Amino acid sequence: MRTRLAILTTLITLATVEAAAPPVLLEPLAGRQVFPVNNWWNQDISTAPVDARSPQLIDWISGRSATNPTAVRRLHPDFGPPPYGIPYVVVAGDQPRVSVTFEYADESDTGIPGVPGYPVPDEARTTANYIEGGVAGGGSSGDRHLLVIDRTRWILYETFATSWNTQLGRWDAGSGAIFDLSSNARRPDGWTSADAAGLAIFPGLVRYDEVFGSTEITHAFRVTTRATNGYVWPASHRAGSNTSAPPLGARLRLKASKNISTFTPEVQRILRAMKRYGLIVADNGSDMYISGTMDGRWNNDVLNPAFSALTADDFEVIQLGWQPSTAPAPPTNLRIQR
């Protein structure tokens, strides 16, 4: 009897320890495949055709006009130590789920089959730097993106305009999207996500673990422009109609001829990815601002001058809506509850 009790006590203890696995901010994920290799974020666009309007679009991004013909738009790393950049948090599969009240509920996901809700850790409510902007509970201004990855199921949860509603004791957000990181499932046309373009945010971030890793970065980066005009594949949602601007989903590629040999090895790794995988316009914001993680290890004394050494003129816009001959196959796995 005492032996059976001891075994039962051990099992309960182990279950408790497993259930209490804490969330991990910025858990290194280098080596784990984020979306299939043929996903749009991971597509090699180094030989993709240049769009016929590329010069005009680059001129617009640079702010050039008849009255300002020499305007230049320089790159900027939209990330760094807190509060700059977008954090992400990794949780275990048994992380408790909570419901989120969405302003745009008709275009937001509510959970996955059998597991409703979002795995938002309590720390996001009480501790700074779990949500974009660095304010515990999200605060009341800014984009306030919350990115949570279920490492067990390999599912990404993202919300926009996230805030803890103290009066009602609940999480509120503008919109939310859930992505199976092993699938090429795309948002329905016309739907937003936690980002204006209807795309996932996490796979487009410049991450410290990749930049200072031992292998090449094999995905595109997220970039913003001050306005946009509709959307093209792979985006699914529009957030503007400025006919001079690029559409959401447009891809910019660092020109192969750009000499990057004078930069540090880590910056060269970022720039090589820009040559091979490019930038995807994902939201309205500051021109040529490249998104990355909020991470205290970034050194902006290195990043800022390195990015500023490049301008929009060092890039070209590839054919809008371009897809390779082997487009991603339709998904056959997990369905998201909408």
* Closest by Cα among 134, 179, 131, 132 to 153: 179
Question: For residues 36 and 58, what is the distance between their CA atoms, to the nearest angstrom?
Answer: 30
Residues of the chain with pLDDT under 50: 1-18
Question: For residues 311 and 307, what is the distance between their CA atoms, to the nearest angstrom?
Answer: 8
Q: Which helix (H) or strand (E) holds 146?
A: strand 146-150
What pLDDT score does 8 carry? 41
Terminal-to-terminal C-alpha distance of the chain: 50
Say if CB 191 and CB 105 are below 8 A apart. no
Say if CB 180 and CB 186 are below 8 A apart. no
What pLDDT score does 10 carry? 43
What pLDDT score does 338 carry? 81
Sheet with 170-173: strands ordered across: 100-102, 170-173, 163-165
Say if CB 309 and CB 77 are below 8 A apart. no
Largest CA distance in the chain: 90
Domain ranges of the chain: 20-317
**Distance, CA of 122 to chain centre:** 22
What pLDDT score does 176 carry? 98
Burial of 24 (0-12, 13-18, 19+ CB in 10 A): middle
What pLDDT score does 331 carry? 63
Burial of 10 (0-12, 13-18, 19+ CB in 10 A): exposed
What pLDDT score does 325 carry? 81
What pLDDT score does 2 carry? 40
* Closest by Cα among 334, 301, 338 to 153: 334
